[in-house]
Homo-oligomer: A and B are copies of this chain.
Amino acid sequence: MSPQIPVEAKNNGKNERNFAKRMATTPKSCIREILKVTESPSIISFAGGLPNPSLIDVDGISRAAASVLKEDGRSVLQYSTTEGYLPLRQFIADRYKKRLGISVSPDEILVTNGSQQCLDLLGKVFINAGDHIGIERPGYLGAIQAFSQYEPEFHPVTLRKDGPDPAMMAEVLETYPLKFFYGVPNSQNPSGITYTNDRRRELASILNAGNTVFVEDDAYGELNFSGKTSASMWELLPDQAIITGSFSKILAPGMRLGWVVAPPDIMEQLIIVKQAADLHSNYLSQRIAYEYLRQQNIDDHIKKIREAYHAQCQYMIGMIREKFPDSVDYTEPEGGMFIWLTLPAGVLSTDVFDEALKLDLAVLPGTPFYTDGGGNTNIRLNFSNSSEQKIRTGMERLAGVISSMMDNPGS
Q: Are B124 and A7 in contact (CB under 8 A)?
A: no
Question: Is A226 interfacial (CB 8 A cutoff)?
Answer: no
Question: Is A37 interfacial (CB 8 A cutoff)?
Answer: no
Question: Is A29 interfacial (CB 8 A cutoff)?
Answer: yes
Q: Are A20 and B205 in contact (CB under 8 A)?
A: no
Q: Which of B128, B131, B146 contacts A276 (CB 8 A)?
A: B146
A56: which B residues are within 8 A, CB to CB?
73-74, 77-78
A345: which B residues are within 8 A, CB to CB?
none
Q: Are A282 and B279 in contact (CB under 8 A)?
A: no
- A266–B253 CA distance with the chains assembled, in angstroms: 28
Q: Which of A282-304 contact B (CB under 8 A)?
A: 282-285
Interchain nearest-CB distance for A382 vs B (Å): 12
Q: Are B78 and A58 in contact (CB under 8 A)?
A: no
A50: which B residues are within 8 A, CB to CB?
78-79
Q: Are A278 and B266 in contact (CB under 8 A)?
A: no
A348: which B residues are within 8 A, CB to CB?
none
Interchain nearest-CB distance for A335 vs B (Å): 20
- A226–B265 CA distance with the chains assembled, in angstroms: 48
Question: Is A255 interfacial (CB 8 A cutoff)?
Answer: yes
Q: For the side of the interface on A, what is the size category?
A: 35 or more
Task: Give the interface segment out of A59-67, A93-101, A309-317, A352-360.
Answer: A59-67
A9: which B residues are within 8 A, CB to CB?
208
Q: Which of B32, B146, B279 contacts A116 (CB 8 A)?
A: B279
Q: Are A120 and B277 in contact (CB under 8 A)?
A: yes
Are A15 and B79 CB-contacts (below 8 A) given A26-B272, A208-B5, A272-B29?
no
Question: Is A325 interfacial (CB 8 A cutoff)?
Answer: no
Q: Which of A90-129 contact B (CB under 8 A)?
A: 112-114, 116-117, 119-120, 124-129
Question: Is A82 interfacial (CB 8 A cutoff)?
Answer: yes
A170: which B residues are within 8 A, CB to CB?
1-3
Are A272 and B23 CB-contacts (below 8 A) given A3-B205, A66-B66, A205-B2?
yes
What are 15 sample pairs from A and B whose C-beta atoms fall under 8 A apart? A2-B166, A2-B167, A3-B170, A16-B211, A20-B127, A21-B128, A29-B275, A56-B77, A58-B77, A61-B73, A65-B66, A142-B279, A149-B273, A256-B278, A285-B285
Given contacts A1-B170, A254-B283, 4 further A-B contacts (CB under 8 A): A10-B208, A14-B240, A22-B128, A54-B74
